[in-house]
Structure 1
Amino acid sequence: MTQGPTCLELIERGARQHADRIAVIAEGQSLTFAQANTRANRLAHAMRSAGLAPHHRVALLANNGVHSVPLDFACVKANLNRVPLNARLSAAEHVRMLTEAQCGVLVFGPDLADRAAELKALKPDLACLGLGARLDDGDDLLAMAESMPTTAPEADVRPEDVIVTLYTSGTTGVLKAAQHTQGSYAAICRNILMNLFPAGPDDAMLHSASLIHASGTFVLPLWLRGARNVVLPGFSPASFLDAIAEHRVTAINLVPTMMQMLLEHPGLDAVDVSSLERIIYGASPMPRAVIQRAIARFGQERFWQYFGQTEVPLCIAVLRPEDHHGEQLRACGRPAADVEIRLVDENGADVASGETGEILVRSPSAAAGYFNAPELNAQTFDAEGWVHTRDVGLFDANGLLHLRDRTSDMIISGGYNIYPREVEDALITHPAVLEVAVVGLPDDKWVEAVTAVVVRRAGQDVSEAELTAHVAGAIASYKKPHRIVFADAIPKTAVGKLDRKTLKARLTAA
């Protein structure tokens, strides 16, 4: 098999071809491609000077900002294996990740200096490098970089070199560290350009979700094509809409929770979003009522959905604008052009057309396994290159892949398999329901009882009986909730997905 360019080669190519164009806008600053690339080169030399040799793992604890792109690129240029830490996690979770990933060095943003100090106290051998900050016995990486060479350091880069280790636990509670290489990360770039966003020099993409997650995979494709990456420190509907108008943003990437917040924002209609050509969403299923409302507001031609996971970013399947109608809104799309998909039963045999099975994927963008997890690797990555996703899906007569649910989320109640998303989609269509999550709780009679947690819209009142009847009128009666709990909020993971694990734990303890 012919190996394509490495991630490093794509970074250097973009820098050469678009030197004087604006590449990154963040924190009130604009960096040209040449400036961002020079900053990355200097940071790469600074990390080498701090003792980080090629292939070392370095933890990054930094929120979105003007240094985000140069720092990531610097790690690639120095051929380091970066381990991003989500700033929203607890110190105990960070310590666990640092320990399991065997990171001896932490690079931290100035707004996270207190957390860095806390981690240093818990792990005294941890070397901490600040970005415009320093701990008592540490160094300021930005200050070090000022005197470093402007050209990239020498690096013997190979396609199989691991350049990023991404922690993903989903909602299962099992920490997994997916490793992506120079080759697989370049393949992610090609996958996005080929299937989802053929960016051009006139494009600008707005990032408000953390760049350590899915949003960050769009940076390199835009860089390669000479487009702008506009980076916000976080998501709020007002600042997000203002940034679209100010920077004439052409593309955004949202999780469903963010889309719902935009639609609920009272100032939405007052903002000029006419530049917006592409609304990309994914990470978790979009409730049907929400996507229908979004299409009515923004227009069907703007919507692109991707289905993927950390182990196989970004697009396993894509729902294009022309497929955003009717029952096809329940689908997650057609297979990406560079991806193979199989659906298999519990014995590993391919299922018949129209039947459900576990989704297996083979792609150049697949991770090179999990770090230091031989048993998990054996369960997930097989000898023929197939990634076992643990997602359940089926193909319809039109070739669209429908995601039923994760095998771990499926509820078995009274002998029936019930997928939470189907019940959630039915509940969210009630006008009094703002948000909903469905889980299965242990039950002596049913084995698992379908339990829904509902957040009502402000000023709306609806009873459990009304909502149960509403669901029974939309889907099979055996799928209706045995119990509905009303709440002020539903727990989310650090990337905005429904946190079913935490929800189940709270309901079980109640």
Structure 2
Amino acid sequence: MLTVDLVRRGAARFGPRTAVRFGAESLTYTQVDEAANAMARVLHAHGAEPGSRVALLLGNGLWSIATDFACLKAGVARVPLNARLSAAEQGRMLEETGVRLLVHDAALAERAGELAASLDLPTLGLGAPGVAGGPDLLEAMTEVSTVDPRVPANPQDPILLLYTSGTTGTLKAVEHTQASYAAIVANILTNLVSPARDSVMLHAASLIHASGTFVLPYWLRGGESVVLPGFEPQGYVDAIARYRATEINLVPTMIGMLLSTGAAQGADVSSLRTAIYGASPMPRPVIEEAMDVWGRRFAQYYGQTEAPLCLTVLDADDHADASLLGSCGQPAVDGEILVADDEGNPVAPGEVGEIRVRAPFTMAGYHAAPELNAEMFAGDGWLRTRDMARVDERGYLYLVDRRSDMIITGGYNVYPREVEDVLLAQPSVAQAVVVGAPDDTWVEAVTAFVVPAPGATVDEAALQAAVRERLAGYKVPKSVRAVDSVPLSPVGKVLRRALRDPLWEGRR
């Protein structure tokens, strides 16, 4: 199955139905599909030949989905640029992937101008002229045919080069193909959601990342995608009620913000069937409070850019069992999961090992990174995740931490998440991040950064005592530092390295 054919099938089946909403504006399935066809022709006219790469520097908007589909129809691989990265990082991405054309919106025109000038790159604007003299794509598409260009496509053709630093700490491009992305769509429909024609998915996170993978599953079932420009707690819950959203997709940080601001407590969620969360570990106190407020509407997925979206799922029924709230669920039915030692042998239930996956939705590989690919692909179709976990007798997985985040202190392994979970259970703590700091005696010292709860103060001794009551002595933080906030990625993941790396300057 080819991803581009999924677009065609949804458009043919649901043509006059509303597909996309953004504010007061909307587009039908036919309008999205015909816009994608015309946009694809404009991309061709401006040098984006089939098999080439096109960079997208865009925020969420009415035309975001049509632009992604246009790349599919044109036979080009899209390279989304995270708007929050530096110009140097974005420039490196463009050079490494050999991008031939940059599409940008008006809000990001200044950055697009920097990139276009430094790389002598042609541009197309989206709602405004391109900064390098190119036309407005929305105007140009009205002057060309809306007939599908029907570019020949093969299962192994790259369609997405998405940069991530998740498993290694270094930005690299994950490559997904016509076949692997179609398998991602099937994975979501098989394991996580089953949209109908009355289904409405609300998108507040950037469509570049996990939120965007839900577009095609809803497209294939006749549902609507409601796109928001960003996430703001009160505006978000207002949108749930206004658009009668049936499903939402959040990262744990967003759920925490909805609760801490009071927006969740006053929300009308009568239309909401499922609140999906994932992308980073969920603190148990947060999901417990969320269920107290919104009931048993929650479903969790665990996955990564290299293998989206669902490696495991903890569904709504699982959430009714309090003993499972620390789990990330059971393996997806369309993939194989192995918790293994360093040699690839399965570990016994209860023991910690690295998660490996074999599935049709895994990446083709990292772009232009043969040594890294050799390290990550373990043979016979198995992909290493670098995530450490244990599995119980019932087959539920419990994430421990990333291998790269593990702290070795005095010869003992400490996984930050288990310490963070204890800290987050304390009423005085709103957020907690644990890292390893250099120590002349212990090599690494467990160090906690804590954001106090509103009106609270950080009592280092009390928090250390709380950890000591629950965990081994070597896991107790040697120091607890109060901070106003913790650094987050654009999708709400904690940037642990931003706290850890300054501690090691000059020591590594």
TM normalised by structure 2 equals 0.97
For residues 191-270 of structure 1, the aligned pairs below 5 Å read 191-270=187-266
Q: 1:205 offset after TM fit, Å?
A: 0.5
Q: CA deviation at 1:322?
A: 1.8
8 Å CA contact 2:187–2:309 kept in 1: the answer is: yes
**Residue aligning to 2:123:** 128
SS in 1 for 2:265: helix
Deviation at 1:185, TM superposition (A): 0.6
**Aligned-residue identity in percent:** 53
- Residues 457-484 of structure 1 show CA distances to partners (whole Å, capped at 9, x for unaligned) of 1211231001111111222232111110
| Worse-superposed segment, 482-491 or 374-383 | 374-383
> Could you say which residue in structure 1 is the equivalent of 2:449?
453
Alignment equivalent of 1:370, drawn from 356, 366, 371? 366
Query: C-alpha separation between the residues in 2 aligned to 1:359 and 1:266?
Result: 37
Q: Which amino acid aligns with 2:274?
A: R
CA offset at residue 85 of structure 1? 0.4
Query: 2:379, 2:171 → 1: CA distance?
Result: 23
Contact persistence 2:438–2:503 (CA under 8 A): no
- Which structure 2 residue ranges, 5 or more long, are not aligned? none
Residues 47-126 of structure 1: matches in 2 within 5 Å? 47-123=43-119, 125-126=120-121
Change (3 A) 1:65 1:187: same
Contact 1:27–1:65 under 8 Å retained in 2: no
Which residue of the partner structure matches residue 330 of structure 2?
Answer: 334
Instruction: Give the letter aligned to residue 30 of structure 1.
Output: S
Counterpart Cα distance in 1 of 2:263 and 2:191: 33
**Matched residue, 1:424:** 420
Matched, 1:182 2:182: no
Does residue 12 (structure 1) correspond to residue 8 (structure 2)? The answer is: yes
Aligned runs of 1:29-48 on 2, under 5 Å?
Answer: 29-48=25-44
Distance in structure 1 (CA, Å) of the matches to 2:471 and 2:277:
26
Instruction: Classify the secondary structure of the residue corresponding to 1:118.
Output: helix
Q: Name the CA distance, whole Å, in 2 between partners of 1:355 and 1:264.
A: 35
| Root-mean-square deviation over aligned CA pairs | 1.3
- AA partner of residue 357 (structure 2): V
Any conservation in 1 of the 2:121–2:132 contact (CA below 8 Å)? Answer: no
Residues 1:496 and 2:507 aligned together: no
Matched ranges for 1:376-395 at <5 A:
376-395=372-391
Please state if 1:310 is matched with 2:320. Answer: no
Q: Which of 140, 148, 153 in structure 1 is aligned with 2:149?
A: 153
Contact 2:336-2:357 within 8 A present in 1 as well? yes
Deviation at 1:122, TM superposition (A): 1.8
Please list every run of 5 or more consecutive structure 1 residues that lacks an aligned counterpart in the other structure: none
Measured in 2, the distance between the counterparts of 1:117 and 1:28 equals 30
In the alignment, which of 272, 292, 296 is matched to residue 296 of structure 1? 292
Q: Does structure 2 retain, via aligned residues, the 8 Å contact 1:255–1:283?
A: yes
Encode CA deviations 1:300-324: one digit per residue, 9 max, x unaligned: 2x11100000111000000111222
The one-letter amino acid paired with 1:467 is L
Offset at residue 121 of structure 1 (A): 2.2
Q: Which amino acid aligns with 1:362?
A: R
- Equivalent runs, 1:352-367 vs 2, <5 Å: 352-367=348-363
Deviation digits for residues 426-470 of structure 1 (CA, Å, limit 9, x no counterpart): 000111111110101111111111100000012112310011111
Match for 1:252: what amino acid? I
What SS is found at the alignment partner of 2:302?
Answer: strand
User: How big is the shift at 1:353?
Assistant: 2.9
Contact 2:387 2:403 in 1 (8 A): yes
Partners of 2:504 and 2:300 in 1: CA distance: 34
Q: How does 1:390-401 map to 2 (within 5 A)?
A: 390-401=386-397
Cα offset for 1:68?
A: 0.5
Contact 1:171-1:501 within 8 A present in 2 as well: no
TM-aligned CA distance change 1:270 to 1:343, over 3 Å? closer
Provide the secondary structure at the position in 1 that maps to 2:401: strand
Once the two structures are overlaid, the 10-residue window that deviates more, 382-391 or 74-83, is 382-391
Is the CA contact (8 Å cut-off) linking 1:172 and 1:501 kept in structure 2?
A: no
* Partner-residue secondary structure (3-state), 2:325: helix
- Cα deviation for residue 383 of structure 1 reads 3.4
SS in 2 for 1:198: coil
Q: 1:263: how far off?
A: 0.7
The 1:136–1:56 alpha-carbon spacing in structure 2 relative to 1, beyond 3 Å, is closer
Deviation at 1:105, TM superposition (A): 1.2
State the shift of 1:267 in Å: 3.9
